[in-house]
Amino acid sequence: MFLSNDHPEEGSPIDPADLSGLDLPAERLLAVHSAFRPILDEIRKLRELELQAIHPAVIFEPTAVYRERGK
Amino acid sequence: MTALHRLPIAKLSALMAGGELSAVQLTRHMLDRIARHDGTLMSHIHLNAAALDEARAADQRRRRGDRVGPLLGIPVSVKDNYFSTGMPTTAGTRAPGIAFEQSDSACVERLRAAGCVFLGKTRTHEFAWGTVTDPVANPWDTNRIPGGSSGGSGAAVAAGLACAALGSDTGGSIRIPASLCGTVGLKPTFGRVSRHGIVPHSWSLDHPGPLARNVDDAAIMLQALAGYDPRDPACQDRPMPDYRRGLKRNVRGLRIGVVENHFLDRNLPSVQALFDAAVADLARDGAQIVRVQAPSLRYGLGAIFAIELASSSAWHDRWVRDGTTAHYTSDVRDLVEMGRLVSAVDYLKAEQVRTVMMEEFRGIFEKVDVVATPTEPLTAWRKGEWTVDIAGAPESVLAASWRLTYPFNLTGLPAITVPCGFDADGMPAGLQIAARPFDEAAVLRVAAHYERSHDWSARTPPGFD
């Protein structure tokens, strides 16, 4: 393992709530999943795309925090 | 004689400069209209107790001979997600424990410096999510929604309760209420106007801008709002054109693109007919109409959902974790919680799609100067309706209402909506014009020409004359 093999739950699937960070009561989680389902259908279309050569429209700009503040 | 609340800003400014009108008189007139009509429209959530003091200060500035622009003494309203000194900000939420600072956002700061009088804060759909903006009513039919999320601004400007208003646009939230309420709404290029001091919705999609009664007023507002601000990391330091200079030019020889896919796929026949007529009018006036395609728009909805949901959930994260979101309205609660379900890989693929889309539009703008689309595939729907029948199939009104606007949030391009007619129920529709980055002058020019050759903007909602 990359970090540690001292994990008590090793061998069992990771809790989906832990993966997403959405720690809600089961009933509420179901409601959120239900509302998300049609949106996931749209997001799933992105997965069909081969975009390896395309840079995402996100720019890391290390000088941004040095800009003059307070004006 | 045209009523004060129907006069364009330049005319009001001229009357004040000539001593025929004072800012106090104009502000009193607008406050009286708010008192008379806003019990029905509910466009404002807060009225500024200092409005008349600000008007007096504006009159004093004029008497002192302060060299300021046309906004001196002009009463405007501010969407309730912009921070503002002296006027509380709620971002439309009643959730306990959420409070925002009372300092001026960059836009309020700029309008204050330009001499505007603030009438109050206009209602927004909670956290600028959604297109209903309950309980605001549409002035053209108070049983219908005004659109959103800047629904209060749309209703207030359309009804003549404010000379102009600020809105914010993450997927269409300036242009949607402007189209559905029959006003002009301008979303400038991402980075043209500072987002500093606006409650964030989605960092890379949020655009501040004005809703106004006509294109010249929108240009005057943009002139005051635009410009570099180092407090907004996305704001760009670029030359500032005179946005009013080209407004009297016609469209002869201009190449206007009509994107045949996506924007024409699923529109109500009445709206499509109004759009077709608008394009025919522009062609008659000498524009060259060029048919183009933008195939990547097939992936646009998935891309904006991934970016908007993930960003919004990240911003609301502390309130998702401590359970505060349980106090949000149910639609907004679902949206800010489900962003946790968007994977990082899907988010970045969405940002890759965005690059593809920006490249595609760059290619389109090698062939044309602007593109024209309907702003909305439909007109304002009745309160409580959740689906509309378009092209023989039911569709969620919320899904339909941003379909034609969000492409210009993903691409960051400037886009304006200008009224282009009314359907059989008397509800307004909008013509959307978009252009290359930072070419606001082009969208204003085409919109101004179209507005000048029609009388749509002169019409007033019944009962709000």
Q: Do B348 and A58 touch (CB under 8 A)?
A: yes
Considering only CB atoms, B334 lies closest to which of A32, A40, A56, namely A32
A and B: number of Cβ contacts within 8 A = 87
Q: Which two tokens stand for residue B403?
A: 């379909």
What pLDDT does B175 receive? 98
| Burial (0-12, 13-18, 19+ Cβ within 10 Å), B397 | buried
Does the distance separating the beta carbons of A58 and B353 come in below 8 Å?
no
The helix/strand/coil state of B410 is helix
Sheet containing B370-374: give its strands across: B44-47, B117-122, B75-79, B164-169, B207-212, B184-187, B415-422, B428-435, B370-374, B255-259, B288-292
Report d(CA B339, CA B377) in Å as an integer: 27
Nearest residue to B379 via CA among B141, B185, B180: B180
A contact test, residue of B129, B235, B349 with most A CBs within 10 A: B349
pLDDT at A64: 77
What is the distance between the alpha carbons of residues B455 and B243, in angstroms, rounded to a whole number?
22
Q: What is the pLDDT of residue A9?
A: 65
pLDDT value, residue A7:
63
Tell the residue number behind the tokens 């509910």, with chain if given: B42
Amino acid at B372: A
Q: C-alpha B129: how far from its chain's center?
A: 14
* Selected residue of B129, B190, B305 to mutate for chain A interface (largest A Cβ count, 10 A): B305
- Does the pLDDT value for residue A34 go beyond 80? yes
Cβ contact (<8 Å) for A32 and B337? yes
Which residues lie below 8 Å from residue B328, measured CB to CB, with a gap of 6+?
B93, B95, B126, B127, B336
Instruction: Give yes or no for B285 touching A (CB within 8 A).
Output: no
Distance, CA of B405 to CA of B423 (rounded, Å): 20
Name the H helices within B65-137: 106-113
Under-50 pLDDT residues of chain B: none
pLDDT top residue among A12 and B147: B147
Distance between CA B432 and CA B267 in Å, rounded? 14
Six token digits for residue A2: 């990359």
Q: Residue B81: CB partners within 8 Å, gap ≥ 6?
A: B89, B91, B92, B124, B127, B128, B168, B198, B199, B201
Q: Could you tell me if A37 lies within 8 Å of chain B, comparing CB atoms?
A: no
List the structure tokens of A71: 């004006």
Q: DSSP letters along A24-58, please?
A: --HHHHHHHHHHHHHHHHHHHHHHT---TTPPPS-
Q: Do B355 and A21 touch (CB under 8 A)?
A: no
- Compute chain B's Rg from CA coordinates: 21
Beta carbons of B178 and B285 less than 8 angstroms apart: no
CA dist., res. A14 & res. A12, Å (int): 6
Do B223 and B244 form a contact (C-beta atoms < 8 A)? yes
Q: Identify which of B302, B354, B355 has the shortest CB distance to residue A45.
A: B302
Residues 163-182 of B with CB under 8 A from A: none
Residues 222..251 of B with a Cβ closer than 8 Å to A: which? 229-231, 233
Distance from CA of B12 to the nearest CA of A (A): 31
Q: How far is A38 from chain B (nearest CA, A)?
A: 10
Contact across the interface for A55 and B358, Cβ inside 8 Å: no
Residues in chain B within 8 Å Cβ distance of A42: 301-302, 305
* pLDDT grade for A1, boundaries at 50, 70 and 90: very low
Mutate to test the interface with B, among A22, A46, A51 (most CBs of B within 10 A): A46
Contact between A57 and B231 using a beta-carbon 8 Å cutoff? no
Q: Is the pLDDT of residue A8 over 80?
A: no
Q: What is the pTM of this model?
A: 0.96
In this predicted structure, what is the pLDDT of residue A69?
A: 54
